[in-house]
């Protein structure tokens, strides 16, 4: 990881009950290049459902709209990551929220969210 995200911020954007897994990811990806992070994001996007990708993109949009919270460089990185995830500015149909919530905090989806955050910060 290139930069350390502040602990209060980490807790805000990562599920509280998954912080142990988050800390494992931090150890695993500490010295990984940006290029490797983007490759891993590209690989993982194929391991999660479209609904989970849509949820990640919605979360990225929310983070991007937090005035004074992130800078223009980070907003640019958010757009790069959204593009890598296959984002198209078209409304998506609503799927099963409970399935998305369960999938969002497990396995490949959780790692994908972590790598998305690393790519931005």
Give the pLDDT confidence of 21-30 residue by residue, as tens digits: 888 888 999 8
- Name the residue ranges covered by the structural domains of the chain: 16-87+97-120
The residue assigned the tokens 């290029």 is 35
CB contact at 8 A, 64 and 70: yes
CB contact at 8 A, 63 and 13: yes
pLDDT tens digits, 17-76: 777 888 888 899 989 999 999 999 999 999 999 999 999 999 999 989 987 878 899 999
């Amino acid at each position: 990881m290139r930069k350390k995200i502040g602990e209060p911020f980490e807790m805000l954007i990562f599920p509280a009950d998954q912080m142990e897994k988050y800390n494992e990811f931090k150890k695993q990806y500490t010295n990984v290049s940006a290029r490797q992070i983007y490759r891993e994001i590209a690989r993982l996007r194929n391991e999660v459902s479209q609904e989970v990708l849509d949820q990640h993109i919605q979360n990225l949009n929310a983070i991007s709209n937090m005035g004074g919270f992130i800078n223009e460089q980070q907003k640019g990185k958010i757009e790069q990551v959204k593009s890598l995830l296959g984002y198209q500015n078209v409304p998506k149909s609503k799927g099963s929220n409970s399935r998305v919530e369960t999938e969002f905090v497990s396995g490949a989806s959780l790692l994908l969210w972590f790598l998305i955050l690393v790519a931005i910060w």
